[in-house]
Amino acid sequence: MNIATHPVEPEEIMAWLDGELSDAQLEAVSAHVEQCVECSKLAEQLRATSQSLSAWNVPAIPINVEQSITKAVTASDSRIRKPNLIVRASFWNRKQWAFRGGATLAVLVIVMAISVPNLLRSKAAADHAMVVAQQRAGGDRDAIRESVVPPSGPVRNGRAGGVGSVSGFAGKVPGGAMGGVLGQITGAAPGGLVITDGQDQQSKVFNDIFLPMIARTVSLSIVVKDFPAARASLDAILNHHHGYAAQLNVGTPENAPKNLVASLRIPAPELSSAIAELRALGRVENESQSGEEVTEQHADLVARLKNSRDTEDRLRAILEQRTGKITDVLQVEREIARVRGDIERMEAEQKALEHRVDFATVELQLTEEFKAEINPPAPSVSTRIHNALVAGYQNATETVLGILLFFAENGPVLLIWLAILAFPVMLVWRRYRRLSASV
């Protein structure tokens, strides 16, 4: 049947025969079946099928078969009453084998997920201490990184390839490929995480990948002697370190010090050198630095985003295989739209969080070292008289215009109240005159 020519679906005709429709639906379906020949034939077929199914009876089990089964169960009862594990496993079907095998695999994965990160953290801490000692001895960090791992992507807060944290890295790399990726980083085989003593540089790169995600904020207040030169130097520093100004306000008042207030965004790996160049602009009056660790927040956001995407995939699969009514389909589509909105919101949060880690925030305030003049230039007498006359003319014009606007706006209301109060005032006045005349 086609819904375009038949507004009633076969499921509704079946529900009409079974008496499961409401009064309004029952009347609509009955009217359509009476008018439509095809739907009437379908109703007769469904009614005949329902009657044949209701009249069908399951034949009873023969007595000899039942007795044979009873004897076999009685004879084998002593042997299978308390079977061991091997005997019980021999009676398992495919679903039981799959369920128990999956449960065992899940337990092993959980044990590995708990034990492996602890081992990695302890090993990474030891490698980090070794690298710090090597750096103090005069090792060149950038040269070591370039000699071990060629740059394959933007560096994020000291992390090769933009990996933000252990949780984010594990969420992006499949479980089976985890050993292979770490093996490529540390020089070990894909099945293990062995780091030898002769691979200090590779251990250092491994340690960089698993550093926590830190959102850094720096506040600087600097007094400069030459404000235009400091302004030009600030632009040069931003261009040199690939940063940008999220917000910048410059004030140049007359007979007052010039000032600049800006919110800068500088790549985290270049923050130290950029701060050193900013300090060289003048005398630092105030400086403060802070760092916020967002590793757990990022990992939680990645996990929730993955769950929402899985939910969306399941809902789309349900929508493709749907056999229900139009209301059910619309409900699934609304749920998909809601989940899609959550996914887009979480993706935006993830990008903003990673941007906070990639680019440190520098709140900068530049103030000119101002020397006030003893005798500031004053305007001439003619200029002051001219300004006074212009101000007086403007005040007089504003006063006259204000009076006209007042009466134009409130005049009709005043006339109405005058008309209402005129008669009582006249009566009171006449009575007052009579009393005065009698006295």
**Residue 429 forms part of a structural domain:** no
Q: Which of 178, 193, 209 is the last residue of a domain?
A: 209
Last residue of a domain, one of 191, 209, 227: 209
What pLDDT score was predicted for residue 158?
A: 39
What is the predicted pLDDT for the residue at 59? 67
Check whether residue 178 and residue 127 sit in a common domain: yes
Q: C-alpha angle with apex 251: 249 to 256, nearest 5 degrees?
A: 155
Q: Please state, in angstroms and rounded to a whole number, the distance separating the CA atoms of residues 6 and 324.
A: 17
* pLDDT score, position 130: 63
> Helices 37-54 & 10-18, crossing angle to 10 degrees?
50
Q: How far is CA 139 from the centre of its chain?
A: 40
- pLDDT tens for each residue of 387-407: 999 999 999 999 999 999 998
| DSSP states of 59-84 | PPPPHHHHHHHHHHHHHHHHHHSS--
Look at residues 186, 209, 232 and tell me which one is the last residue of a structural domain: 209
Q: How many whole angstroms separate alpha carbon 6 and alpha carbon 29?
A: 11
Pair (252, 363) in one structural domain: yes
Q: Are 222 and 365 within one domain?
A: yes
Asked whether residue 218 falls in the same domain as residue 366, the answer is yes
Helices (H) and strands (E) in the chain, counts: 15, 5
107 and 164, same domain (yes or no):
yes
pLDDT digits 0-9 by tens, 222-266: 999 888 899 899 999 999 999 999 889 998 887 788 899 999 999
What the block records as the tokens of 214 is 């830190």
Q: Is 225 domain-assigned?
A: yes
- Full residue range of the structural domain in which residue 333 is found: 212-372
- The answer to whether residue 424 is domain-embedded is no
Mean pLDDT, consecutive 10-residue stretches, the chain (439 aa), reads 64 78 78 81 80 72 74 63 55 72 80 73 65 49 39 39 37 38 36 42 46 88 90 91 90 84 92 91 91 89 92 86 77 88 92 91 89 64 89 92 90 87 86 80
Domain count within the chain: 4
Task: Please indicate, yes or no, whether residues 156 and 273 belong to a single structural domain of this protein.
Answer: no
Alpha-carbon distance of 39 to 379, in angstroms, equals 100
Give this prediction's pTM.
0.39
Contact 223, 369 (CB under 8 A): yes
Instruction: Give the pLDDT confidence score for residue 146 in this predicted structure.
Output: 40
Alpha-carbon distance of 187 to 185, in angstroms, equals 6
Rounded Cα gap, residues 235 and 90, in angstroms: 78
For residues 215 and 364, what is the distance between their CA atoms, to the nearest angstrom?
17
The answer to whether position 412 is within a domain reads: yes
316 lies in a domain?
A: yes
Q: What is the pLDDT, as a whole number, of residue 198?
A: 45
Amino acid at 176: G
Are 294 and 360 within one domain? yes
Is 2 part of any domain?
no
Residues 305 and 343 in one domain: yes
For residue 101, what pLDDT is reported?
78
Domain identity same for 322 and 403: no
In a domain, 328, yes or no: yes
Domain membership flag for residue 439: no
For residue 297, give the nearest of 356, 363, 246, 341 by alpha carbon: 356
Buried b (16+ CB within 10 A) or exposed e, 313-328: eebeeeeeeeeeeeee
Burial track 330-349 (b if 16+ CB lie within 10 A, e otherwise): eebeeebeebeebbeebeee
Looking at the fold, whether 48 and 144 belong to one and the same domain comes out as no
pLDDT of residue 315: 87
**239 in the same domain as 360:** yes
**Same domain, yes or no: 222 and 331:** yes
pLDDT at 58: 65
